[in-house]
Amino acid sequence: MENYRYLEIERDAAVLRIWLARPEVRNAFNHELIAELTQVFSDVPASARVAMLGGRGEVFCAGADLDYMKQLGQMSHEENVRDALALADMLAAVNACPIPLVGRMQKAAFGGAIGLLACCDSVVCTEDAVFAFSEVRLGITPATISPYVIAKVGESAARDLFLSGERWDAERALAIGLVHRVVPPDKLDTAVQEKVKELLCAGPEAARATKRLIREVAGSVAAEQREATARLIADLRGSDEGRQGLSAFLEKRKPSWMDN
């Protein structure tokens, strides 16, 4: 496999380990990381039987990088659409990973990072983890990740958590089905390895066929929503409210709607 700037790729026998490797910015997304994730999940080796997605450093993924967010605020509407479509394509590639995918999540996952977790088949997280769909507090919406998140946690949880933007804990993540096991931080790697070991007990072809089965039975609606969700987030990024919310976040102040 080729070398990546913002990812670290490890192969151990039949296991493919993919690490977000921007720990200095809490593994936050930028254009390059999104492109690299799309590439690696579009080119999973035929010999791999299980994949693991994790983040280097203290935090799994903090969502969008601040410099990346600044660029989004300066883009035209059509540029924002293209950017959102790139994120949609990345999520589609992760979701379509042909082999079982285990998420290794520590400390925090915000916004788009939760979209990554929603595309994993099994997620192990630390008991001190926090989550948030913070988009509405920035005057935008979690549009691009919504097909995957709603499919994973259901409409009821999405209504509650998308609309408030509040933070929630690992216990809530477990209850709504976003994660599947919660462990102390010092047990994370052991728990992930145990899950990988269990998955390796499945027949390689049976595992791949079962992933295809799940997608077919659940209904592949994400592709149908790709264009609509990308245009929605682009509309809101370019709106007065979206620009104000982003500016307020970057300037560490409250937006005007929080003064009431």
Query: Which residue type is seen at 221?
Result: V
Instruction: Kindly state whether residue 95 falls inside one of the protein's structural domains.
Output: yes
Instruction: Kindly state whether residue 193 falls inside one of the protein's structural domains.
Output: no
What's residue 175's pLDDT? 98
Instruction: Kindly state whether residue 203 falls inside one of the protein's structural domains.
Output: no
Q: Per-residue pLDDT tens for 74-117?
A: 889 898 889 899 999 999 999 999 999 999 999 999 999 999 99
Instruction: Kindly state whether residue 239 falls inside one of the protein's structural domains.
Output: no
Helix, strand, or coil (residue 20): strand
What's residue 204's pLDDT? 92
Contact yes or no for 91/115 (Cβ under 8 A): yes
Q: What is the CATH number of the domain that holds 28?
A: 3.90.226.10
How many helices and strands (H and E) does the chain possess?
11, 9
Residue among 180, 202, 201 at smallest CA distance from 191: 180
Q: Per-residue pLDDT tens for 103-153?
A: 999 999 999 999 999 999 999 999 999 999 999 998 999 999 999 999 999
Domain that holds residue 61: 7-185
Instruction: Kindly state whether residue 90 falls inside one of the protein's structural domains.
Output: yes
Phi, psi of 44 (to 5 degrees): -70, 125
Give the total number of structural domains in the chain: 1
Residue among 26, 18, 23, 24 at smallest CA distance from 2: 18
Alpha carbon distance 123, 60 (integer Å): 12
Instruction: Kindly state whether residue 214 falls inside one of the protein's structural domains.
Output: no
Contact yes or no for 123/75 (Cβ under 8 A): no
Instruction: Kindly state whether residue 215 falls inside one of the protein's structural domains.
Output: no
Helix, strand, or coil (residue 38): helix
Instruction: Kindly state whether residue 216 falls inside one of the protein's structural domains.
Output: no
